[in-house]
Amino acid sequence: NYLINWSDSKINEIATGHELARHGFFEYSGRMFYWNVKETLKYSDELAGLREINLTIEWQGSIGKKTYSITRLIL
């Protein structure tokens, strides 16, 4: 699936610092997609020092707005 491959690639670029933008648009198969990233530092004892990256993609489907998100924890 294109969307899964795109999001996996994008979150890897963000985690490694190759992608500095935290939001944007892209087009695929005539449909416009909006993406954004939220980053959170974890402070709880079991997750202390980890960075959580959440990438969300939104687009207009035939019945309404659709959303896909992926989250990674980075040391």
Whether residue 14 contacts residue 35, with contact meaning beta carbons closer than 8 Å, is answered with no
Instruction: Provide the total of helices (H) and of strands (E) in the chain, helices listed first.
Output: 1, 4
15 or 44, higher pLDDT:
15
Radius of gyration of the CA atoms of the chain, in A: 14
Average pLDDT of the chain, as a whole number: 91
Query: Which pLDDT does position 14 carry in this prediction?
Result: 94
* pTM for the predicted model, two decimal places: 0.86
Q: What is the CATH number of the domain that holds 7?
A: 2.20.130
Answer whether residue 45 shows pLDDT above 80. Answer: no
Whether 47 shows a pLDDT value over 80: the answer reads: no
Mean pLDDT, residues 22-43 taken together: 93
pLDDT of residue 16: 92
Residues 16, 8 contacting (CB under 8 angstroms): no
Domain region containing 9: 2-74
| Residue 33: predicted pLDDT | 98
The number of folded domains in the chain is: 1
